[in-house]
Amino acid sequence: MKHLVVSENNGVTTVALNRPEKHNAFNPEMISELTDLFLSFEKNPNRTAIILKGNGKSFSAGGDLEWMRSMVNFTLEENLNDARRLFDMYQAMAFCGTPLIGLVHGHVMGGGLGLVAVCDVVAAESTTQFCFSEAKIGIAPAVISPWVLRKVPQGMAREVMLTAKMFGVDHAKLMGLVHFSGPLTEAEDFVTSAVENLLKCSPGAVRAAKKLMNDISILPWSEMRDQASRVIAERRVSEEGQEGLKAFLEKREPKWRAKS
């Protein structure tokens, strides 16, 4: 891959955006690479966590300038296809069954906030700056809005999306976009701790819980009872669920728990 660096370590996959000279702004190639990569993760789901970060001075500056310049001459249909490919990238990342942990720093602009929104857990360096910058250049944060609004109360989202103002980690935490902030070493420690906690959990239960949370965001209320009931019933009779319940009652460690 040209714009991503992917590494594996004991069941943890790290994906680093790797256009540091462009502040990891994404272009069609990076969008395609991220989409294909996360779809491939679903074909081989045997990993504990995926860590998403950015190489260089920033996590992601959103859309690449040259890419945006090319859009000026796109037809409506070409713009529709382009936007759909971007949406498909976020969807592949959001619906990936493996927990996705974001480690962000520097600047997180425009579409970069979409990447933050599809992460399940996010740690940010304390000096990180965020901005839904689209309105400043005459467009709208449209493709990222479904993913952002799964996390952020709409009243809070309206203020920062409509004004396109810059905001820091404290406000990002208040909105629910970020879970931890501190010096970079502490943010990295938080990510390590999150992975360690995941290792104590049943892999199947984690995937089932994430899928249920994704489903709940799109299911009509009339289907919620059956979906939620089915998930817990299936987990109770599953091999992992049976082992976990017996271990709890017998006051011992379940066999699937990673040794610390």
Residue 123 belongs to domain with CATH number? 3.90.226.10
Tens-digit pLDDT string for the chain (260 aa)? 899 999 999 889 999 999 999 999 999 999 999 999 999 998 887 889 999 999 999 999 988 877 777 777 788 888 888 889 999 999 999 999 999 999 999 999 999 999 999 999 999 999 999 999 988 888 889 999 999 999 999 999 999 999 999 999 999 999 999 999 999 999 999 999 999 999 999 999 999 999 999 988 788 888 888 888 888 888 888 898 888 888 888 899 898 887 65
Among 260, 240, 241, which Cα is nearest to 193's? 260
How far is residue 197's CA from residue 195's CA, in Å, rounded to a whole number?
5
Could you tell me if 129 and 231 lie in one domain? no
How far is residue 188's CA from residue 192's CA, in Å, rounded to a whole number?
6
Among 153, 52, 58, which Cα is nearest to 99's? 52
How far is residue 150's CA from residue 145's CA, in Å, rounded to a whole number?
9
Could you tell me if 160 and 229 lie in one domain? no
Residue at 260 is within a domain: no
DSSP bridge pairs for 174: none
Could you tell me if 175 and 244 lie in one domain? no
Could you tell me if 79 and 193 lie in one domain? yes
Residue at 255 is within a domain: no
Domain count, the chain: 2
Among 102, 119, 6, which Cα is nearest to 59's? 102
pTM recorded for the entire structure: 0.92
103 alpha-carbon distance from chain centroid: 10
27: three-class secondary structure by DSSP:
coil
Could you tell me if 105 and 168 lie in one domain? yes
Is residue 227 within a helix (H) or strand (E), and if so which, with residue range? helix 224-237
What residues make up the domain containing 74?
A: 4-198
Taking the CB of residue 101, how many other CB atoms lie within 10 A of it?
24
